Structure 1
Amino acid sequence: MPALPPPLLAFIRAAVFGGARMCLVVALHLGFLGGAVGWAQAPAATPVTDMEAVAIAYNEALKAFTEGKWSEAASGFEATMKLILDDRLPQVPPLVFMTGAAYFNGGDNGKAIEYFKKYLTKYPNAVMVWEVKLGLARATLRSKKYDEAIPLFKELEGVPAWRDEALLSQAQAYRETTKLDEAIAALVRLITPDIRTVAQAGGGIMLAELYAEKKASKKAVIVLQLLERKPGLVENPVGLNAVAVRLGDEFLEDKQFADALSSYRTVRPREDVIKIQTYRVSRTVAAIEANTKAAVGNPPLAAQLEMLNIQLKEQLDEAKKQFEEFQKLPDFGPGLLLRMARAYYEWEKRWEAVVVYERLLTKYPPGVKDREGAIFGKVIAYNDLLQMRRCQAACDDYFKEFPEGPGAGTVGYMSGAVAMQVQDFAGAEKAFVRMLEKVPKSEFKEEMRYLLGNARFMQGKFGEAVQDYIKYHADYPSGERFDEVAYRIGLCAIFTSDYAKGKTVMTEFVAKNPTGPYTGDARYRLLICEYAEMNYEAVIASAAPWLRDYAGHDQEAEVLALLGDSQAATGKLEDAIQSYQRCAKVAKTDEVLSHGLFESSKYLQKLGKWPEVAQMFEDFVKDRPDHTAVITAMFWIAKARAKQGQTDEAKAFLVDNLKKYIAEPKREAVEPLLLQLAQLCAKRPRPKTPPAPPATPPPAPVPAEQGAPPAPPAPAPPEPPPLPPYDAVAELTKQMRPLEADASVTAKARLLYAQAELLRQIRKPEEADAIYAEMATRFRPADLSPYLLAQLGDFMNFRGDSEKAALLFTQLKEHYPKSDFLDYAYVGLGEIALAKKEHEKALELFTDALEKVEANSKAKEGTIGKARTLLALKRHAEAKKLFEQVASVKEWRGDATAMAVYMQGQTEADQGKYPEAIAYYRRVFVAYQKYLPWVAKSYLGVADCFEKMGQRGDAIENLREMLRNERLAKFPETEEARKRLQAWGVAA
């Protein structure tokens, strides 16, 4: 039996052990041993029972082996060896090895181990001893005899060709026996100094898993990042992704957020995995094609390459199967992004979480399952960030895409709660009504019922709010908000001016809740009820115990203000002043502070206590130097000094303080100081009276002689010399000189304003208007203060330059949204829009001026503008209601009242209700005779109505009455009346 030739031996080694697979494939080409030929040439003395039978048995076994018929091959090799009587023949060791290999490939590890051990025992120096040791190690490992397998693989670690497999297998065995440190050590040796092979990449994946199990997060992430840089060596990117995700999840659960994110970032996106798998398939196909091409014309190599192609085809089939299964799976990208967003969120990096959610929503279109989680996550994150507008928008997005989503209940509640926080109370009401109807068993039902009442309460829907609160009481008698709801029912009564009911409800509430978070406010509301009913003594009596019981309470300043108001109403001015001053010291809002400060000032002035006025405001400036009312306080300090005859000191005080603020456009009280300076300069200062000389006793009377003439009368004192002419303009110029040095553009505009106001004081309005016109054209709107923008905007609008006025108003509206003069902008722009017949725009501007803008300097003009706009839109009922409101406001009585009555007539006439219109017109020229422009218009209105009613005679008589009124002679309406009479052919 001849020995195996070296080329065949090398091929066996390469084919059987060339890869780190757990399957032994002995790739011998059929017929290489020559069948009967190879054996027939053996010497006659060969101890073989039947040479022909040996050859046949061997070739059949070999054929079965190459066809993967492992049991048949093993039996064939065993039968062959039985025909050989001398097992020392060189052909026997390969047969022993191949028998073990056949059993191994067939899964019979016990028989494989038996033959491999037999080989090593009988043939320890045979040429294939290392291949056998590898087979023994593999079979032992597959038999789960880990402790026996480890030393076998350790011995193989020194063979370069098998080092990777030896270390990998050791790690596997150690891991199975929970010896994780030893497994890690083996894998570290495997990938040191670098990952250069597919096997090492596989070991890297296992090492990352083990580090994760050992909580060695930093090391695990380092390995993953190393693998990320070796994409060509990772044959199973899906598996690597799974490890990275699992590792990230474990880190996330352990609150190791940075490591979790690092792990998630190593996950390759779906498109990259597809590219890698596609390349792997194409690379294997190319290798098969190359082998097939190389085998042409080379029979000895053909069998070898054919067996190698069989192995490659198995790999190809496996790769294709994995690829097909992967393509059937949904994209893992959205889920990965959700994990990353969760990591950022739990790490309290809410903005980063939002960015990841947005990335998911941008990259993946509607229909992707994880979009629901992303939008829900945005809702929660924005809520935590107090980005209520964005949170509200995210809630809307959720309901648009997932109206029945799993988070709809929570999002619906949050939609309403967030709307409450951004003061969108109508939106909150809508959200809560919808959720209470659609999800009647919501876990948030109690809170939503309570908040629904609050949403309606904040909209002034007090009746509906009370019904919600009553229902809350009925449904939740032990509810967390029960007491607060009872208190709110009382508030609803008070806010609807039902003070009797409010007092009853609040009294009951205080009796049931003598202490509690709402008791102090409830007792304060009782004071309001008493004040509204003019029970001032009751307020005074109840305020003292309130102040004793609730010192430092949020409403302390309000109670002091109410006490001061009641004391003032009962004539206790000294007490009222003290209460107001205490109010100003503890006030927490500017509104209450101003009330206390300026009411105190008012009554001090009434009592003539100007030094106290000055001292109070000086203390305020000292205590609150940065308060916005400081400049206003300076105004009163200067006025108090002037009232005490200290005019020069008052001027100096104003100039010194104007230096600090005149260049700051946002300081809105600068202009009042300048106006006050102009007023002080407009009048000649009172000459200081020189001190009277010391009195001398009159001379003793000398008795007149009998018959002597009487003494002549003492001469009259000489007339004082006339005072020199007083130049108010020169005085103001002198006072403003320190302010002109290095004056900014804003300061220069303000100084011109002071000059204009002085000219108005000395009755030179034309010159003042010229300066206003200069200011409007000389300065950019951006250079002007809110006060000047408001005043110049009004001035230019009145003069008919609506374009320039619009620029000024727009600057005020867009750049000073918190200005006290903001309503000038809305009303002015509304008037411009109305003049252009842009009625919808005008209506929006007037409505915003009245409802959204806190400033109310232009409340009258805004109401009139809105009413006129509604009339232009033919919304007669609404227009008439507003005109009635204008006519009824006591503070607006005068020209506005006459105008409002006239416009009510216009409203009726526009609807064809001529008798009603005539009644309003006549009311104007009867009750408001001194407002001649409206009287003139009303006469024409009456004539128009009579004419349209077919009563020309009455129209003629009405116009003649108009012409008899000499005070109307110069009005254009009077000329129109003459023309009408002439057209009708009647004499005036």
Structure 2
Amino acid sequence: MRWLSLFQPARMLRKNPKIPALLACSLLASSPAARLVAQEPPPAPAAPVAPATLQRLFSEAEAAFGTKDYDTAVAKIQELLQGLGPNKDAPLELLYFNIGLGYLLGDKPAEAEAAFTDCLKRFPKGEYASRCYLGVGRACILQNTPEKKELAINALKLAAQDPKYRSEAGLWLGQVYSDLGRREEAMTVFKSLMGSDIRSPQQTTAAVEVIKLLAETGKVEDLSAYLDRLSNQAGIRDAIAWYANQVIVQADELVGTQNYEAALAIYRSVPPRSQITEIQKTALETQRRDVKLLENRVNAEKTKPLNQRSNASELLNTMKPALELAEQALKTVEEKADLDAALLMRRGRCLYYLDRHEEALVCFRTLRTKYGTSADAKPAAYAEIVILNKLKDIPKIKELCDAYLRNYPDSENAEQVATLAGEVLVQSGNWAEVGSFYQGL
């Protein structure tokens, strides 16, 4: 029977598993430290922050966003969140989202990623969840490592599930695929977005990247179709001066790599200068009116509780930088008086290198006759002579050589033009005119 007594305590513990815990509690309570802790009163609750203080912090955060002082904006929001505590009536999700936005706009992508992720953990099904996924994607892209770009892909796919952010998320997703060399996946994304609306400044920026990818892949038909669809998109028209400048720069880079087909497609998509300025001025009137309305609403809501305010402040912080950029771009276009002539020159050069000489002649001739005082008139006149020489149009060459030497006697190409003019006369067999021509030189 002795061996039974050895195992009896074990059976008792199994029957009453609470015994060890109770014993532990009794031992802890009997220690001096435990008695000391037990005698301390519970901590007093934190004193509530005055509503006026909360209101001030919110207003200061808004003002900091408006002046692009994003570090201050984030600090004020964090202080505001501490003051609010677990207040279910406060717009906590909005505030946590704006911490991420402040970091993102303040060029702190790692902190932005962490803040957006924190907001998603707190509000996984919240109103700002899709925007947080978009923010995570953008923040990871800006960190520019292969690992972060993979994280960006996952986040942007989730953001794209929301119809409101499908276009913007998809455009950034395509760019990430392109950066990673996954061109087929990028093209699949971009093709799915061909008919999507481009409205926001971010979407317009991403659309320019799409143009670049389509051009680099040599899909000129897809590029032309995409450019055509972009022309009537609201976001493009709202920022058409900036957009025109960006695509011209891209086309110039393509010429540098001898990708003349794609460059020509882009040059041809750029509207005339007068149309750009007219569309941009009309768009700016609407944008200024919208900004004014938002400013009035923000000012009117300053006295309202946080949970009763609209998203006017958020919209204002997005629209004002876009407005400033559009105004600056318009000024640049207005200062470029010879923009139409410059585009004709670029188109003509592309056509020349593509051996489409008749079309190139139309560009150079139009430039010479319609924009005779522009900086490109002289090189256009010379290019026209070069093409006519290739086409062996003797009468026309003689006429244009005479005009060139008369209009640009000090040109660096004057000697070549004079030599060509003499050769043309020799070929014509008019020896008397040949003699007088060389005597005149």
TM interval, short-chain normalised: 0.7 to 0.9
- 2-structure distance, mates of 1:252, 1:135: 35
2:56 pairs with 1:52: no
Show CA shifts across 1:579-600 (max 9, x none): xxxxxxxxxxxxxxxxxxxxxx
Report matched runs for 1:220-235 at 5 Å. 220-228=223-231, 230=233, 233-235=236-238
Secondary structure at the residue paired with 1:198?
Answer: coil
2:389 pairs with 1:383: yes
Name the residue aligned to 2:197. Answer: 196
Name the residue aligned to 2:25. Answer: none
Residue 335 of structure 2 is aligned with which of 328, 339, 342?
328
Assess if the C-alpha contact under 8 Å between 1:205 and 1:240 holds in 2.
no
Name the residue aligned to 1:164. Answer: 167
Name the residue aligned to 2:9. Answer: none
Name the residue aligned to 2:136. Answer: 136
2:210 pairs with 1:210: no
- 2-structure distance, mates of 1:82, 1:420: 92
Structure 2 alignment gaps of length 5 or more: 1-41
Aligned letter for 1:428? V
- 2-structure distance, mates of 1:65, 1:346: 56
Name the residue aligned to 1:903. Answer: none
Judged with a 3 Å threshold, the aligned counterparts in structure 2 of structure 1 residues 214 and 276 are, in CA distance, closer, same or farther, namely: same
Assess if the C-alpha contact under 8 Å between 1:153 and 1:169 holds in 2.
yes
Aligned letter for 1:113? E
Name the residue aligned to 2:113. Answer: 113
- 1-structure distance, mates of 2:397, 2:86: 85
Judged with a 3 Å threshold, the aligned counterparts in structure 2 of structure 1 residues 222 and 122 are, in CA distance, closer, same or farther, namely: closer
- 2-structure distance, mates of 1:101, 1:248: 34
- 2-structure distance, mates of 1:289, 1:66: 16
2:81 pairs with 1:61: no
- Quote the offset at 1:195 in angstroms: 4.0
Assess if the C-alpha contact under 8 Å between 1:416 and 1:429 holds in 2.
no
Secondary structure at the residue paired with 2:288?
Answer: helix
Secondary structure at the residue paired with 2:412?
Answer: coil
TM-score (norm 2): 0.73
Residue 315 of structure 1 is aligned with which of 300, 314, 322?
322
Judged with a 3 Å threshold, the aligned counterparts in structure 2 of structure 1 residues 385 and 66 are, in CA distance, closer, same or farther, namely: same
Secondary structure at the residue paired with 1:51?
Answer: coil
- 2-structure distance, mates of 1:47, 1:430: 111
Aligned letter for 1:401? N
- Quote the offset at 1:187 in angstroms: 1.8
Judged with a 3 Å threshold, the aligned counterparts in structure 2 of structure 1 residues 183 and 362 are, in CA distance, closer, same or farther, namely: same
Aligned letter for 1:146? K
- Quote the offset at 1:62 in angstroms: 1.4
Secondary structure at the residue paired with 1:368?
Answer: coil
- 1-structure distance, mates of 2:87, 2:163: 31
Assess if the C-alpha contact under 8 Å between 1:195 and 1:201 holds in 2.
no
Secondary structure at the residue paired with 1:173?
Answer: helix
Aligned letter for 1:243? V
Assess if the C-alpha contact under 8 Å between 2:130 and 2:165 holds in 1.
no
Name the residue aligned to 1:184. Answer: 187
2:434 pairs with 1:428: yes
- 2-structure distance, mates of 1:348, 1:122: 62
Aligned letter for 1:62? F
Assess if the C-alpha contact under 8 Å between 2:397 and 2:424 holds in 1.
yes
Judged with a 3 Å threshold, the aligned counterparts in structure 2 of structure 1 residues 46 and 155 are, in CA distance, closer, same or farther, namely: farther
- 1-structure distance, mates of 2:256, 2:217: 15
Assess if the C-alpha contact under 8 Å between 1:341 and 1:353 holds in 2.
yes
- 1-structure distance, mates of 2:113, 2:189: 24
2:247 pairs with 1:243: yes
Assess if the C-alpha contact under 8 Å between 2:156 and 2:170 holds in 1.
yes
Aligned letter for 1:315? A
Secondary structure at the residue paired with 2:49?
Answer: helix
Assess if the C-alpha contact under 8 Å between 2:70 and 2:102 holds in 1.
yes
2:273 pairs with 1:266: no
- 1-structure distance, mates of 2:318, 2:335: 26
Report which stretch shifted further, 390-399 or 299-308. Answer: 299-308
- Quote the offset at 1:332 in angstroms: 2.5
Quick one: percent identity of the two aligned structures?
Answer: 21
Judged with a 3 Å threshold, the aligned counterparts in structure 2 of structure 1 residues 195 and 64 are, in CA distance, closer, same or farther, namely: same
Residue 364 of structure 2 is aligned with which of 349, 357, 367?
357
Name the residue aligned to 1:373. Answer: 379
- 2-structure distance, mates of 1:73, 1:333: 44
Larger helix proportion of the pair: 2
Aligned letter for 1:196? D
Assess if the C-alpha contact under 8 Å between 2:174 and 2:185 holds in 1.
yes
Show CA shifts across 1:768-821 (max 9, x none): xxxxxxxxxxxxxxxxxxxxxxxxxxxxxxxxxxxxxxxxxxxxxxxxxxxxxx
2:412 pairs with 1:406: yes
- 1-structure distance, mates of 2:319, 2:91: 30
Judged with a 3 Å threshold, the aligned counterparts in structure 2 of structure 1 residues 249 and 359 are, in CA distance, closer, same or farther, namely: farther
- 1-structure distance, mates of 2:438, 2:83: 93
Judged with a 3 Å threshold, the aligned counterparts in structure 2 of structure 1 residues 324 and 377 are, in CA distance, closer, same or farther, namely: same
- 2-structure distance, mates of 1:128, 1:294: 21
- Quote the offset at 1:78 in angstroms: 3.3
- Quote the offset at 1:252 in angstroms: 9.8
Secondary structure at the residue paired with 1:373?
Answer: helix
- Quote the offset at 1:289 in angstroms: 5.0
TM-score (norm 1): 0.35
Assess if the C-alpha contact under 8 Å between 1:201 and 1:233 holds in 2.
yes
Report the structure number with the largest CA radius of gyration.
Answer: 1
Show CA shifts across 1:891-925 (max 9, x none): xxxxxxxxxxxxxxxxxxxxxxxxxxxxxxxxxxx
Aligned letter for 1:281? L
Assess if the C-alpha contact under 8 Å between 1:248 and 1:261 holds in 2.
no
- Quote the offset at 1:80 in angstroms: 4.7
Aligned letter for 2:330? F
Aligned letter for 1:198? R
Judged with a 3 Å threshold, the aligned counterparts in structure 2 of structure 1 residues 58 and 98 are, in CA distance, closer, same or farther, namely: farther
Name the residue aligned to 2:348. Answer: 341
